[in-house]
Each structure stands twice: as structure tokens, then as C-alpha cells.
Structure 1
Amino acid sequence: MNILIIGASGYLGRALTLKLHTKDNTLYLLGRDKNKTYEVFKRILSSFVPFPKILDYKDELPDADIVINLAGESIAAKILTKKRIKTLESSRLDVLAHIENKLKKYSCKSRILLQASALGIYEDNSSNIGNDELALICKTVEDKALSLNNIFSRIVALRLGIILGKESPFIQKINKIPPIKFIGKEKHIGWISIEDTVNAII
């Protein structure tokens, strides 16, 4: 199976690549820096399986069976100002526009898109879609992903909570992470283990 992982050098991307790096799959890893992506994986991948094909945004994208898009600026990296919220949204929309531009040349087939989203799309303690900034970012990104139905036969939004594990950035930076507040409203933080996340995607 041909699988394209975008944002592969992140925490979830690394774990997913390790699990999918088998003789039955051909992996393509897309990141902003080919050298950085290569350095991340050359130390951790088995030499008994062909090394993934490393791509950057100047390269053509493969006609993959599955595209797993995990790319986007980290929400927890900096204080959440209005300017930063715009950056978070545009970093995700720009990647989806790139996918659309690069894959539209291929004929339509049974191709799947798994698009990273977040539990922040919901109202706190509710299954209703929220209307604060984080929810609006998620909804905007999901709507853009769903609009790519001329390229993908199935599109899945991965509404994930904080992903926890021994090397989780959240665990490493927990004392530095700014409060998750949007216009004065507190958000509870849902979580999932890295193992369960990888297994759910697979």
C-alpha cells in the first residue's frame, strides 16, 4: 500500500511511521525540511525494510492510496493570541491547498484522506460543535478537507485530544504550556495514549 504521511516528524507522525514501516507498505514522508525528516528516521527505522521516500513541498506528491495529514503549527507551542490563532488556521489550510493542487492531476480512485483535527471542535463537556476560536479553527479545517471529495473517496477527521506517552511534548512541556483559554472560557483537555491513537488510525 502507498501511504503519504504529512507532518511525519512530529510525535504522532514518528509513532505512526514506525508502525507502518513494513514490507507491505511504501511510505512517503512529507515535511518542510528533507534533511531534518531524514535525520529523524534514519536512527529509528529498521534497515530490513526499504527506507521511506522523503519529500518536501517542492516535490511532486505520489498517487498514494492513503494520505495522513498531521501537519500544522503546534497549538501548545506559544501563547494563544488572535494573531497566533490565524497562524494555526492558515498553517493547516495551506497544507490542504497544497494537497489539492498536487493530487488533482491524478484520476479519481479509492483514495483515503485522514485529516488531523481536535476535540476542541466540541463545546466543553458536550457533543455539540462549539463556537469559540479553537472550535472554529477545527471546523474551518475540516470543511476544507471535506471539500476535497473530488480527489478522495473517503475523508476522515481525526478529532484527537492531547496525545500522551513517555516522550509526549505535552508531558515534557507541561509547566510551560499556556492556559487553554479562548475569550475567557476554559476548555477541559481530553487525552488519548499514543498507542491507542496509532492503533485507531491503522
Structure 2
Amino acid sequence: MHVVIAGGSGYVGGHLAQSLIDQHNQVTILTQSDISQVASRLEKKHKISSSASIITYDEYNGEGDVLINLAGESLGAKAITTRRLPVLLNSRLDVLDRLSQQMVLPPVFIQASAISLYNENTDEVQDESSPCTGSSDISNIAHKLEERARQLNEQFNFKRFYLARLGIVLSRDGGFIKKSSMTPPFTIIHGTNKIPFIEVHDAVNALQFLCQKEIPSGPVNLTSPKPATLKELLHCCYKHSRLPQIPIITGLLKLGDRRIQMLKANQTIMPTVLTSNGFVFHTQDINNVQ
């Protein structure tokens, strides 16, 4: 299988490329960055730079069996301010605009999106059949991204088309946990709200599952069937810290940084499409995240 990954040098993309190569698949990584720098980063983190083909969007000719789009500025890399919101959105839409200029694209297309699309403050259980009524700034980015991806689907009429809605991706070697290690450990006094998450290897396996399985097109939630509370999420992030977690109230969280919206949300999201089609999560409980 030939899998093309836009954003293949990022956190999830790098893990996905490594897993695909380990299973003897052909991998092409599309990038807007300097190719030598991308190759160096992939070699340092995943030892795969010589095993994957790394090309620019201008060099891409639409080849491949599956195209997975994970591209876009990282939501967790730094504070999401009013000024940074359009940067996050445009970095995602620009890639889809580039892909729309191709004559052909692979028959299977997977667009990464976010769980924030759903109602962000409810105790009700939600899944892929639930309305997308999220209204936060991060949710608005996901809404516009999915709208543009659907337009791409109308243009190319993909055989299979998936909107992979990810929860917070967790692993000890990067992502949310690594970013948290750069701040003093804290916990929230009233942190009982539910936060959807997925361990990075489950996310990778789920994306590969969509590549291989004849599942009907549509949204697919990539999130553990056992959501964590905010307290559990923060404990997971800081459990190896030598410093105790400082208890604070939610109101003290920095409101100018929209990443806080993800921590203040209350969502119980089920991955019904995955589990009903036989996918098995290996890390359902956040306490087992390695």
C-alpha cells in the first residue's frame, strides 16, 4: 500500500510514517518545509528518513493509494491568541487548496479534524451521529476545515472519505504531555469535566485501520471510549514530576490562550464507528498511557 501523508513530519505524522514503514508500506511525505530539515527531524525521532520519500507539494503528482492530511500549525505548540487563530486556520486551508490543484488524488482521503466540533459543555454521550454544535474558537477552525475538505471530496469524488476527529493525543515522547512538562505542575480543584483523549499508538492504528477497512465514508472519532477527567489528564501529564501538583481553580487559567478551551470543555465522546467495525483500543484508560 502506498500512503501519502501531508504533515508527515509532525507528531502524529511521524509515528504514523514509522508504523507504516515497519509494516513494509510505501510512504511519501508532503511538506512545505525544507526537505533536508524534515529528513533530519524524521531520522532523529523515528529513524526513517531514508525509508520515506519526502517531497514538496509542487513535486507531488497525485500518486498513492491513500492520502492522509495531518498538515497544519500545531494547536499545542504555543499560546493560541487572537492573532494566531488565522495562522492556524490558513495553514490547514492552504494545504487543501494546494491539493485541489491536482489533476487526480488517491481514491481514499483521510482529513484530520478535532473532537471540539461537538457540544463542548454537556454530560450527554456524543458520537459521530451527534450534531456538531461546538462554538469555541478551536471548534470554528475545525468547522471551516471540514467544510473545505468536503469541497475537495465533491471535486474528486473519493472512493472513501473520512473526517478523523481526534481527541487530545497523548504519549510520553511528545505532544500534550511533553508541552505540559514545560510548565509548573498543577491540578484543578473542580476538574471533574470529561476530556476526550487518545494514546498516540491508538491514533496511528486507527488511521491505518481506516486505510485498510471498507468502512462507509463519513466522520470517525479517534478518541478513547473511556474519557478522562481533567484531574486525571493533568495527573497523567505530571505523574513523573518530582514537584507536587499545585491546586488552582479553573478561573485562574489564562483566558487569553484558547488552548484553555480544550481543558474547560466537558465532553463524553464515543468512537462508535471504530468500535462497531471491530477496532480495539490498546490504551483505553489514561492511567495506562506510557
- Place the TM-score, normalised by the shorter chain, in its bin: 0.7 to 0.9
Distance in 1 between residues matched to 2:147 and 2:169, nearest whole Å: 23
Q: Is the 8 A contact 1:121 1:135 kept in 2?
A: yes
Q: Which residue of structure 2 lines up, in the alignment, with residue 141 of structure 1?
A: 145
SS at match of 1:164: strand
Task: Provide, for residues 171-196 of structure 1, a one-character-per-residue CA deviation record: whole Å limited to 9, x for no partner.
Answer: 1121557xxxxxxxxx9642110111
SS at match of 1:58: helix
Alpha-carbon shift at residue 22 of structure 1 (Å) = 4.6
Distance in 2 between residues matched to 1:174 and 1:139, nearest whole Å: 27
Q: Is the 8 A contact 2:7 2:70 kept in 1?
A: yes
Q: Which residue of structure 2 lines up, in the alignment, with residue 163 of structure 1?
A: 169
Taking structure 1 as the reference length, the TM-score comes to 0.82
Q: 1:80 to 1:24 in 2, by over 3 A?
A: closer
Q: Is the 8 A contact 1:4 1:62 kept in 2?
A: no
Q: Which residue of structure 2 lines up, in the alignment, with residue 34 of structure 1?
A: 35
SS at match of 2:74: coil
Q: 1:23 to 1:122 in 2, by over 3 A?
A: closer
Q: Which residue of structure 2 lines up, in the alignment, with residue 132 of structure 1?
A: 136
Distance in 2 between residues matched to 1:42 and 1:52, nearest whole Å: 10
Q: Is the 8 A contact 1:164 1:191 kept in 2?
A: yes
Distance in 1 between residues matched to 2:181 and 2:16, nearest whole Å: 27
Distance in 2 between residues matched to 1:65 and 1:196, nearest whole Å: 22
Which of 192, 199, 211 in structure 2 is aligned with 1:193? 199
Task: Provide, for residues 115-160 of structure 1, a one-character-per-residue CA deviation record: whole Å limited to 9, x for no partner.
Answer: 1101111122353421222211101101111111232222211110
List gaps (5 residues or longer) in structure 1: 178-186
Q: 1:40 to 1:61 in 2, by over 3 A?
A: farther
Higher mean displacement: 84-93 or 167-176: 167-176
Q: Which residue of structure 2 lines up, in the alignment, with residue 53 of structure 1?
A: 53
Distance in 1 between residues matched to 2:119 and 2:91, nearest whole Å: 23
Alpha-carbon shift at residue 76 of structure 1 (Å) = 1.8
> Percent of aligned pairs with the same residue?
33
Q: Is the 8 A contact 1:113 1:156 kept in 2?
A: yes
Q: 1:83 to 1:20 in 2, by over 3 A?
A: same
Counterpart check, 1:87 vs 2:87:
yes
User: Radius of gyration: which is bigger?
Assistant: 2
List gaps (5 residues or longer) in structure 2: 184-192, 209-290
Q: 1:38 to 1:192 in 2, by over 3 A?
A: same
Q: Which residue of structure 1 lines up, in the alignment, with residue 215 of structure 2?
A: none
Task: Provide, for residues 48-96 of structure 1, a one-character-per-residue CA deviation record: whole Å limited to 9, x for no partner.
Answer: xx72111123323342111111111111222222221111111100001
CA RMSD of aligned residues (A): 2.3
Alpha-carbon shift at residue 23 of structure 1 (Å) = 6.7
Distance in 1 between residues matched to 2:84 and 2:194, nearest whole Å: 20
Distance in 2 between residues matched to 1:200 and 1:83, nearest whole Å: 33
Taking structure 2 as the reference length, the TM-score comes to 0.59
Q: Is the 8 A contact 1:164 1:193 kept in 2?
A: yes
Counterpart check, 1:63 vs 2:63:
yes
